[in-house]
Every structure is written in C-alpha cells, then in structure tokens.
Amino acid sequence: MRPALLAVLPIILGVAAHKTAHTEEEKQVERSLRNAAYHCAAAVGDFTTARKRAFAQKALGQTGNPSVTDYAQLFDQEPLGIEAGPDAEFLSCTPIQDTQIENNTCVLTPEVTEGPYYHNAGHPIRQNIAEYQDGLLLLLDIGVIDVETCKPVPNVLVDIWLANATGHYAGHPDPAPHLVNEQPQVGGSRSGLLSAFPRTKYQETFLRGAWPTDRNGVSQFTSIFPGYYTGRATHIHTKVYPEWTVHEENSTFTGGRLAHVGQWFFEDDINMAVDKMHPYTENPIRHTRGRTRNWRDSLNIFDDSHLNGYNPVFKTHLLGGVIGQGVVAYITMGVNMSASYDNWWKG
Ligand SMILES: *[C@@H]1O[C@H](CO)[C@@H](O)[C@H](O)[C@H]1NC(C)=O
Ligand SMILES: *[C@@H]1O[C@H](CO)[C@@H](O)[C@H](O)[C@H]1NC(C)=O
Ligand SMILES: *[C@@H]1O[C@H](CO)[C@@H](O)[C@H](O)[C@H]1NC(C)=O
Ligand SMILES: *[C@@H]1O[C@H](CO)[C@@H](O)[C@H](O)[C@H]1NC(C)=O
C-alpha cells in the first residue's frame, strides 16, 4: 500500500506546485518556443492588426463613429498581407494601424495547467457559449500562429472554458458537502485556494465551447466576461487541438493531438471596472475574500504564464462608448504545430 502511495504523491505534488519546466527536455521546448516567438513578433503584430480591422468594422457596421475612440487611432496604414475574408471589400477601404503592438505581446506561454474544471468530453462545438448567463458581452478574437513558420494556422480547434459572472463553472455549482466551510489554504503550494468544486451537474455546458480557426487562423467566440472565484485571478482557459473527432449527433467532440494548454488574463483596470457591474457585484466572495489580483494569482499561474517574456493578457477594446456595451478581446497564441504535448502540467 505505502510504496504505491509514495510513487503517486510526488507526481501530484509536482504538478500542483510551480509550473515551470523541470526536465531538460521541457526546458528545451520552452527555449525554442521562446526564440520562435520573438522571431514571430512582427508577424503577430500584422496578424492582430488585420483582425482588429476586420472585427472593428464587422461589429460596428461603420467607421468614423465618433463615440468609438478606441479604434480611432488605428486607421492609418497599408493593408496587410493577410488573406481577405468574405467582407474583404468593405474592410479594405480603411486600413488601420495598431500603435500598441509590443515585442511578442499577445503570444501565449507554452503550457500552464488546465486546472480542475476541464471536461474531457461534452464541450459543444459552437461560437456563442454564453447560453443564459447574464454578464458583460465579451467578444473573443483568438489567433493561432505556428511558431515554426510565423504563419496563422487554419483549422485547429480552440477549446475554451470560463467561470460565470459569480465565479462558477458549468457543472460545478457547489463545494463538496464536507467542505462548505473550507477556508483558503494558507501557505504552501496551494496557498489562497479552496478544493475544487466537484462536478455534480453533468448536463450544464454554459461558457464552454470549441470552434476551429478559420482560413485566417482566427477563432471567434461570443461570451460574457468571466467572473472570479477564490484564489484565482480572472482568467479564461484554453486548449488547442490540431486533431479532433466531431460527434455529429450531439455537436461535441473528442480531442486528439494536443498542441497547447494555456490560460489568458485581463488587465487589472478592466477587471476593476467589471467588478462594479451587475451581476458581477453579486459574487458571493465579493465582500469577504474579494477578487484575486493578477500578481497574487495562486499556483503562480499568472506569473508562470509570462515565462520567457510571453504575455497572455488580452488586448481589449470597448465595443461602444462605455464598457457596458461590451468588450472585444484579442490574443494570439503561438503554438508548435509539429509538437504533441501530453499536457505536462495537468493539475
Ligand atoms: C524583441 O525582444 C528580443 C528579446 O528581448 C530581442 O532580441 C529583439 O531584438 C526584440 N525585437 C524587437 C523588434 O524589438
Ligand atoms: C456525444 O456523442 C458521443 C458519441 O456518440 C458520446 O460518446 C458522448 O458521450 C456524447 N456526449 C454527450 C455530452 O452527450
Ligand atoms: C453562476 O452559476 C451558478 C451555478 O450554476 C449559479 O448559481 C449562479 O446563479 C450563476 N450566476 C449568474 C450571475 O447567473
Ligand atoms: C516543435 O516541435 C518539434 C517536435 O517536438 C520540435 O522538433 C521543434 O524543435 C519544435 N519547434 C519549436 C520552435 O519549438
């Protein structure tokens, strides 16, 4: 009995602790991804700019809307070499420039934990994942580039999941009965966290879904802005599958080869603004533990996500004149299309 336990424990502790690469092989993978990401920084910039142009004009229906200050600075550049989408004619009339593209901004870290709320089966293939969840409209524009070629990658499945406005994942409404009064762990690797809420509602799928990248390497979702829960900075989870099997009968899928596991974050100023909006104000821990700031994220996930200079923080823009009208958030993930990860840091 005891030897078996001992053999298992170090593995569990190993993944729950700091999520840095530890073996020489993992370090090597990180080094080459980092180098490739720097190399791709310019391509990522062009890619994001083209997507912003497309999204701005699609969402707003027109340009020159005086209330849309965020996009105003963006219109002044040669068209970019990205394959034109269906609305190409409309979009080509006002090229835009993003003056804020920074070195390797938006390229996501290699691998951080998938956390305890992933469902290996049952995530629907769909773009609108909001279902009946009340909250701030959030349009996600997620680009995928291959770090080996710096080219956008069409037709890979981007799978995402996030907590609702009051901090619950679909299927996991309550703590385990014997843990209802649990307090966050103090110190240790799980400092600040509660035990994961068990999955008790098997039919719930809100704020979970997957959609393949289009021919420009972009996957877009309609969602609500995520809420927060004990110990974790506000975040969205993702996995990227170059191979998957669709179950036509129920529109779900089974993932095949896994090219990426990651988490995305938001700047604290937007988190702060959302905190004050209904129904985010109804978060049960709002007046007790409150929202965990990015820099205090448990398990070092926020910091680890920045390893090697990667920046997994969305670039956000308001869809209208005020935040309540919605937010569009952009991120680009650099993935290695020839790699197949066994999700090293599952935890
Ligand atoms: C981006 O950062 C890397 C690493 O710090 C540096 O080598 C490279 O010159 C930078 N590129 C640009 C365009 O600033
Ligand atoms: C969807 O269909 C597949 C294939 O029949 C099945 O294995 C899976 O359990 C179903 N999933 C759900 C959520 O119904
Ligand atoms: C979030 O989900 C939980 C669990 O399903 C639910 O009780 C709560 O009402 C939801 N929050 C909102 C704002 O709908
Ligand atoms: C991508 O993965 C392949 C296969 O593991 C590896 O040989 C290659 O060095 C990786 N490329 C980068 C840029 O990390």
Q: What is the pLDDT of residues 248-277, one digit of tens each?
A: 999 999 998 888 888 889 999 999 999 999
Mean pLDDT of the residues in the chain: 75
- The continuous run of DSSP H or E covering 8 comes out as helix 2-16
Structural tokens at position 326: 């919605």
339 Cα: distance to centroid of ligand 4 (angstroms): 6
Measured CA to CA, the distance from residue 34 to residue 147 in angstroms comes to 9
**pLDDT at site 346:** 41
* Lowest mean pLDDT across 143-157, 164-178, 302-316: 302-316
Any atom of ligand 1 within 6 Å of the Cβ of 38: yes
Any atom of ligand 4 within 6 Å of the Cβ of 339: yes
Measured CA to CA, the distance from residue 85 to residue 138 in angstroms comes to 22
Measured CA to CA, the distance from residue 20 to residue 27 in angstroms comes to 9
209 Cα: distance to centroid of ligand 2 (angstroms): 15
Residues 121, 266, 330: CA angle, nearest 5 degrees? 75
* Lowest mean pLDDT across 108-112, 275-279, 311-315, 328-332: 108-112
Mean pLDDT of 7-21: 35
Any atom of ligand 1 within 6 Å of the Cβ of 103: yes
Residue-wise pLDDT tens digits, 188-241: 888 899 999 999 999 999 999 999 998 888 899 999 999 999 999 999 999 999
Atom of ligand 4 nearest to the CA of 32: 14
CA dihedral angle for residue 69, residue 72, residue 73, residue 74, rounded to 10 degrees? 130
Position of tokens 């990180």? 30
* Paired strand residues for 5: none
Q: In the structure, what pLDDT confidence band is assigned to residue 155 with cuts at 50, 70 and 90? A: very high
Q: Is 278 exposed, middle or buried (0-12, 13-18, 19+ CB in 10 A)?
A: exposed
> What share of the chain in percent tops pLDDT 90?
41
Indicate which residue's Cα is closest to atom 9 of ligand 3.
166
252 Cα: distance to centroid of ligand 2 (angstroms): 7
Indicate which residue's Cα is closest to atom 8 of ligand 1.
38
Nearest ligand, measured from the Cα of 246: 2
168 Cα: distance to centroid of ligand 3 (angstroms): 6
Any atom of ligand 1 within 6 Å of the Cβ of 73: no
**pLDDT at site 211:** 95
Domains of the chain as residue ranges with CATH: 102-335 (2.60.130.10)
Indicate which residue's Cα is closest to atom 4 of ligand 2.
247
Instruction: Answer yes or no: are the C-beta atoms of 319 and 325 closer than 8 Å.
Output: yes
Measured CA to CA, the distance from residue 141 to residue 224 in angstroms comes to 13
Q: Is 120 exposed, middle or buried (0-12, 13-18, 19+ CB in 10 A)?
A: exposed
Measured CA to CA, the distance from residue 317 to residue 14 in angstroms comes to 38
Any atom of ligand 3 within 6 Å of the Cβ of 164: yes
